[in-house]
Structure 1
Amino acid sequence: MTAAPLDLTDPAVVADPYPAFAEARAQAPVQWHEGLGLWLAFTHAEANAVLRDRRLGRLWTDKEPGDRFASFNLIHRNAILEMEPPHHTRLRRLITSAFARGHVERLRPWVEELAGRLADELVERSGGSQPVDLLTGMAEQLPVAVIAELLGVPEADRPLLRPWSNAIVKMYEYERTRQREDDAERAADEFVAYLRKLAADRRRNPGEDLVSHLVTVRDSDGDKLTEDELVTTCILLLNAGHEATVNVTGNGMLALLRHPDQLARLRADRDLLPGALEELMRFDPPLQLFERTATADVEIGGVTVTEGQKIAALLGSANHDPAVFADPETLDVARADNPHISFGAGIHFCIGAPLARVELQATFGALLDRASLLELGGEPVRHPEFVIRGLDTLPIVLTP
């Protein structure tokens, strides 16, 4: 078991992990990381196998016994992302049935209108000279508003959602303070209580929102979601959905601004936009690491992951594997062959991917429509964590 040649807490690796990934891929496709106590899969083939092999599962273990993480544990114990068949199969079928009522397409015009309004505000504030922050001015606002609209959260309550989500997702990092853990549990507790109240209201007064449909959905056997499953599903949609979209927007726009030839190419041919967004997700994905636990001995990349051991797919490393992607360190908005795994793979493929694509197309499309010129307006500030990769600020200048 050789130690992987990277420290995930090293500020240089957090700032730009891709050179370290390339060095690691050149040594071996799968390597043991002594500090984390798990295997890391660096190549596309091995990371993809980690995500698809049914002997490698998402097996939730509560954080500490007792009540310290009671709500945090509850929302993960009942989450589709943290379970395997047959429970996963049942829950995903019910959630997919509720989504199948046309929610994504119902929201598309509303999302495009909102994106246009936010882009107009940014252009007006910038005026071609004043830097404005894309994150707070648009990237953070749009996906939270979309998820809130999808779930039917009243306008007055929507400012509560992102702080709850931000606190909860800090628990996914490997270096955490006790204060962050306490903040995550407090946020989880408040979020659970809020959604129980919202679900109870939708039972009494159903609407056309997703919560109303999740309350009433049943499968062919008459099975339905438990209240804990419903609450957990709503929290997962917000946490996974909006965090990823915010970070793709920030990472992706920064990549375009640092590759002005590609931004100009996209502006000249707007038909490239859907494929360009896939390339931005490949080039600098919002989630870098995803764990699995072996339920039996599994051979991956020439090593044996023994039952009970963990192995993680490094999504950003896989997306830069030269065995799969030609010139992987080159941003190419017209890249045709792009089997990136930023949305995952296998049975845990992101259930919100269609909604994320609608949001991203609306966001980037609105910015390209409203601004004749987009430029970097200062040095961006990146999150100091590795697993969830994103920016805190991205100053840009938009010319009408």
Structure 2
Amino acid sequence: MTEFADRWGLAADKYWLRGQLPDEKVKFDEELGVWQVAGYPEVLAVLNDSESFSADSTRLFDVDEEQAKLIKGDMAQMNGPEHIHMRRQVGRAFSPKAMDDLEVRITKLGGELLDKLAGRDRFDLLGDFIDDLSGILFSELLGTPAEHRDMFKAVDQTMDSDVQMSTVGEGGEEYFDSLLGPLLPLRDFLGDIINERRREPKQDLLSLMLEFKYLDGRPMAHDEIINFAVAVLGAGHLTSPILIGNTMLCLETFPEQAAKVRADRSLVPGMFEEVMRYFTPATTSYRATEAEVEVGGVTIPKDQMVSLQLGAANRDPRQFPDADTFDVTRAPNQHVGYGRGAHYCIGAAMARVETRIIFNLVLDRYAHLRVDPDVAPVFFGSPEFTGVRSLAVRTD
């Protein structure tokens, strides 16, 4: 049961990866001042109740004016009709037609980038290939110069912070500073592009964002558009590299499952859903209680921080038979890796298209691709994230 976690040296705090789930599915963490919700039905109940559980967790803290400028406009912090309204507007960028065009672009660009690796028997699957591919795709989506895609690495830094969300002392302020501080250069970069788009709009997401309006007809302010763009990057830019990296570790650990996928490519989409469940990248999501509310038979008071343990919920045997078994044919597979309810990941469709096409391109090119046994994978350091940031592979 601990084979996977021990083999790759995964942190002990990712207890669900070792088949360890708490008896109490809802409990208060006194050290952090946060309610921990770890069971599948309990997590699902919170995700589906946006009236009792607000996504605007920052309201529980004394956020100053400067910090507020870095948060307002972030769709992940919006609630109710305003949030739905904004999702509809940005949803145009992820339409079925856009996804069809994306598939064509990924196939062409992916092939070109793989051609540059021809003749190499070892390389970093993420650093030498998928990071570039995803960076170029998001540059084209947003409308930023592809040659400056390294600016997006500011998002990586936020996933390396080991600061945990806490309502004790200055914990909340430290947490938000650790997330927002590394993004300042990226914000300046995006702000300059947005100013260019005001003068000369193009067919890109930043130009589209300039047309966004709130329900009362107000346009989004400059800082709000930046925050919205950063949120889109945070939710989507790293999804495909991390998910494919995590997938490689799963297939390396369970060769019989890898053989099934290589023999039947129709299993690829289901394989990624199983990786999202078994080796969930974004393991934690936060909510703030709007009123006293009961979850799993436990009463949580009003104005409390709630930590949703998505990774643990995805291993709950009450929902998933043989929950600690990696099975690419698992069906149904109603995991919460992309969230659920009003805040279901808006970029999920893009992630599914991108990972499917990229993975098939790689398998077409490298029939025997495997994790390099001589180079340990490097993981992001955040306690709220479980993802590979560097993965050496061999092609022989």
For the superposition of Structure 1 and Structure 2, which TM-score range results when normalised by the shorter chain?
0.7 to 0.9
Superposed CA deviations along residues 118-172 of structure 1, whole A, max 9, x for unmatched, are 344446311xxxx32222122322222211110111123222222x212344468
- In structure 2, the partner of 1:61 is 58
Superposed CA deviations along residues 254-306 of structure 1, whole A, max 9, x for unmatched, are 11111111111101101111111111111101111111110101100111110
- In structure 2, the partner of 1:30 is 26
CA distance in 2, matches of 1:66, 1:220: 25
Asked if 1:18 corresponds to 2:9, the answer is: no
CA distance in 2, matches of 1:161, 1:28: 39
Show structure 2 runs of 5+ residues with no match: 1-8, 166-170
- In structure 2, the partner of 1:41 is 37
Q: Name the aligned partner's letter for residue 46 of structure 1.
A: E
1:365: how far off? 1.0
Q: TM-score, normalised by structure 2?
A: 0.86
1:220: how far off? 9.2
CA distance in 1, matches of 2:182, 2:274: 34
Q: Does the 8 A contact of 2:135 with 2:146 survive in 1? A: no
Show structure 1 runs of 5+ residues with no match: 1-9
1:179: how far off? 11
Provide the identity percentage.
Answer: 31
- In structure 1, the partner of 2:328 is 333
- In structure 1, the partner of 2:394 is 397
- In structure 2, the partner of 1:3 is none
Which among 112, 116, 130 is matched to residue 139 of structure 1?
130
Q: Name the aligned partner's letter for residue 31 of structure 2.
A: G
Q: Name the aligned partner's letter for residue 315 of structure 2.
A: H
Would the alpha carbon gap of residues 179 and 112 (structure 1) be closer, same or farther in structure 2, given more than 3 Å must change? Answer: farther
3-state SS in 1 of match to 2:164: coil
Q: Does the 8 A contact of 2:164 with 2:175 survive in 1? A: no
Asked if 1:257 corresponds to 2:255, the answer is: no
Q: Name the aligned partner's letter for residue 89 of structure 2.
A: L
Which among 187, 190, 199 is matched to residue 194 of structure 2?
199
Asked if 1:383 corresponds to 2:385, the answer is: no
Would the alpha carbon gap of residues 20 and 29 (structure 1) be closer, same or farther in structure 2, given more than 3 Å must change? Answer: farther
Would the alpha carbon gap of residues 367 and 183 (structure 1) be closer, same or farther in structure 2, given more than 3 Å must change? Answer: same
Which among 295, 298, 301 is matched to residue 303 of structure 1?
298
The CA RMSD measured in Å over matched residues stands at 2.8
Which among 46, 68, 77 is matched to residue 82 of structure 1?
77
- In structure 2, the partner of 1:153 is 144
CA distance in 2, matches of 1:355, 1:227: 26
Moved more, 321-330 or 187-196: 187-196
Which aligned pairs between 1:121-132 and structure 2 lie closer than 5 A?
121-122=116-117, 124-126=119-121, 131-132=122-123
Which among 262, 281, 285 is matched to residue 286 of structure 1?
281
CA distance in 1, matches of 2:40, 2:292: 21
CA distance in 2, matches of 1:288, 1:31: 17
Would the alpha carbon gap of residues 210 and 61 (structure 1) be closer, same or farther in structure 2, given more than 3 Å must change? Answer: same
